[in-house]
Amino acid sequence: MVRCVKHKHSETMRGISRRSLLTGAASLVAAPALGAISRPTDVDVAIIGAGAAGIAAGRRLAAAGQRYVLIEASPRVGGRCYTDMTTFGVPYDRAARGIRGRETNPVAKLAAEAKLDIDPAPRGQRVRIGRRNAREGELEDFLAASVRANRAIGDAARSGRDIAAAQLLPRELADWRTSVEFLLGPYATSKDLTEVSAVDLARAADREPNGFCRQGYGALVAKLGSGLRTQLDNPVTRVEWAGRDGVALDTRQGRLAARAVIVTVSTGVLASDAIRFTPELPKRHSDAIARLKPGTYERIALELNGNPFGLSRDDLVFEKSDGPRTGALLANIGRTPLCTIDVGGAFGRDLAAQGEAAMIAYAADWLAGLYGGDIRKSVGRSHATRWSSDPLIRGGWSSASPGGAGSRAVLREALSARLWFAGEAAHDTAWGSVEGAWETGERAANEILRSFGVLRDEPAAKAKGAVKRSAPKRQEF
Ligand SMILES: Cc1cc2nc3c(=O)[nH]c(=O)nc-3n(C[C@H](O)[C@H](O)[C@H](O)COP(=O)(O)OP(=O)(O)OC[C@H]3O[C@@H](n4cnc5c(N)ncnc54)[C@H](O)[C@@H]3O)c2cc1C
């Protein structure tokens, strides 16, 4: 019976792409050359954090023949790209999984070099209404409500009204309101729309994933980082960035001198003061960091044997919700029994605070509400992430608070031509993504190379490996 319903509604969904529902729908400082270094430095560039941004920066500096080192606090590289192979025995991406714009995505383009495979993502999503799939007319209503909400946010953003996106939702969203709030809020930004800048949201690039790495996105990023000069298990605790001789870092493994530093840790970590800056960061930067704090986005993973939903590979399912206690299901991941339920925003935060058992119980209850209680019998192994309480991450991804849309540009401003920030939060449009983080790492590395005079003869925008800056893009339906 489930299979019949599934078939009928996969036809129904064919015309509605992920793009149609998702939100995207959703100074540089001209750095002077550093000049002569009066004492030897250990490296030219120290990169703090070996996530996507740090790895991209490391590869760029390695290619340019610079002395660099990646300093990573945890025992592995990849940060919020992490494929866990042990919990389920199949690739389980605990955070980033969906590849956006796989034809142009700089990380996906390197998959062949890494000898890994990118599979296309199926188009479209399903929507459950209680225990049945939404009918075509209902899907159109959901789509129309999303369009109205996006237009209202886009119109306000264009007129410069950087207020909370929640204030702009039209009244006519009727009984699709909470579903739209989830789609544009926690699912797209990791925050509730009351905490999200309308301008930042309107600028966001298309978030539709159109590919998955068969071996895991985390496996791909880790492979791209292998072979780089990296110190693992080595948290940085202090950055002295205004000395005449460059920068000095205090790390667990000792002190290190460099001509310049790229800091790629999350804005949650920066806001926590786990790394002290000497002198303190200018207020302009610390305000920007405070306005770009990550929200909450957690993943509950269940092994569901026997495909009890009757769904296809990588099917994405939302529900018509009646409140914020909702999630997004990704079923039969990579044709395995692995399914994930993602939760976020204030609801996700409160749920995660109750612990892993409560998260798993919620996911089983939620699925039982949508597909029937028998689902529980299929549940095998389980796991839930706790990114928000991980001291090295502290949240989902950055989302600007109302009034904070300009903060990403401030974060990118280099300080004293010695200190650069990179990472997903520093990207104007592709924040909260792997490719966004990657591009900011490459960009910071290129700026440093220019400040060293290594790229002196190349115009900034055309420098080899320079980041193409995508024009702020608003999704139209
Ligand atoms: C649950 C979840 C799902 C997601 N899904 C997607 C998706 O489908 N597609 C997508 O494109 N993006 C997704 N994202 C977002 C994506 O994962 C991030 O935008 C991206 O990985 C961030 O990379 P980064 O290099 O900026 O930061 P990070 O990956 O956070 O890297 C920073 C590194 O710094 C290290 N560090 C922290 N403190 C210190 C210290 N004191 N000293 C040294 N090192 C330190 C950390 O351990 C970490 O390795 C998701 C994120 C989450 C949480």
Number of Cα atoms under 13 Å in the Cβ half of residue 180 = 30
Per-residue pLDDT at 124: 85
CB hemisphere CA count around 473 (13 angstroms)? 15
Cβ(205) – ligand 1 distance below 6 Å: no
The confidence score (pLDDT) of residue 22 equals 43
Residue nearest to atom 13 of ligand 1 (CA): 96
What pLDDT is stored for residue 470 in this prediction?
35
**If you take atom 12 of ligand 1, which residue's CA is the nearest one?**
433
Asked if 254 and 217 count as a contact pair (C-beta separation under 8 A), the reply is: no
> Half-sphere exposure of 310 toward its Cβ, with a 13 Å CA cutoff?
15
Rg (CA), the chain: 22
Residue among 93, 51, 55, 96 nearest 74 (CA): 51
Atom of ligand 1 nearest to the CA of 80: 29
- So what's the pLDDT on residue 226? 97
Gap from CA of 79 to ligand 1 centroid (Å): 4
What CATH class does 2-25+82-215+295-389 carry? Answer: alpha beta
425 contacts 408 by C-beta, under 8 angstroms: yes
Instruction: Report in angstroms the alpha-carbon separations of 40 from 43, 102, 107, 229, 239.
Output: 9, 43, 35, 19, 18
Ligand 1 closest atom vs CA 440: 26
Nearest residue to 425 (alpha-carbon basis) of 206, 190, 246: 190
Going 393 to 394 to 395 to 401, the CA torsion angle's sign is negative
C-alpha 207 – ligand 1 centre gap (Å): 16
pLDDT confidence of residue 38: 40
How many residues can be counted in the chain?
Answer: 477
Is residue 441 within 8 A of residue 55, CB to CB? The reply is yes
Predicted confidence at residue 457, as pLDDT, reads 56
Q: Which letter does DSSP use for residue 354 in this model? A: T
What residue owns the CA closest to ligand 1's atom 7? 96
Alpha helices in 300-355 (DSSP H): 345-353
Copy the structure tokens of residue 379: 């549940």
CATH 3.50.50.60 domain locations along the chain: 43-77+226-293+394-462
For residue 160, count other CB atoms closer than 10 A to its CB: 9
**Helices 136-158, 177-184: inter-axial angle, 10-degree rounding:** 60
Q: Does pTM top 0.85 for this prediction? A: yes
Residues 226-246: b if buried by 16+ CB within 10 A, e if exposed: eebebbeebbbeebbbeeebb
Structure tokens at 96: 């980033």
Question: What value, to the nearest 5°, has the Cα angle with vertex 423 and ends 213 and 473?
Answer: 75
Residues of the chain with CATH 3.90.660.20: 2-25+82-215+295-389
Whole-number Å distance between alpha carbons of 334 and 384: 19
Other CB atoms within 10 A of residue 390 CB: 15
pLDDT at position 215: 98
Ligand 1, atom 53, residue with closest C-alpha: 396
CATH homologous superfamily of 43-77+226-293+394-462: FAD/NAD(P)-binding domain (3.50.50.60)
Q: How far is the CA of 224 from the centre of ligand 1 (A)?
A: 15
Instruction: Locate 274 and state its tokens.
Output: 């786990």
Q: From CA 166, how far away is CA 197, in angstroms rounded?
A: 9
**Which of 23, 105, 265 should be mutated for ligand 1, with most atoms under 8 A from CB?**
265
- The answer, yes or no, to whether any atom of ligand 1 lies below 6 A from the CB of 55, is no
- The partner residues of 331 in beta bridges, in order of sequence, read 315
Residues of the chain predicted below pLDDT 50: 1-39, 460-477
CB of residue 73 inside a 6 A radius of ligand 1? yes
* CB of 393 shorter than 6 A to ligand 1: yes
CA-CA-CA-CA torsion sign (71, 59, 98, 85): negative
Task: Judge if the beta carbon of residue 81 lies within 6 A of ligand 1.
Answer: yes
Nearest Cα neighbor of 407 from 253, 196, 254 is 196
Task: Answer yes or no: are the C-beta atoms of 460 and 130 closer than 8 Å.
Answer: no
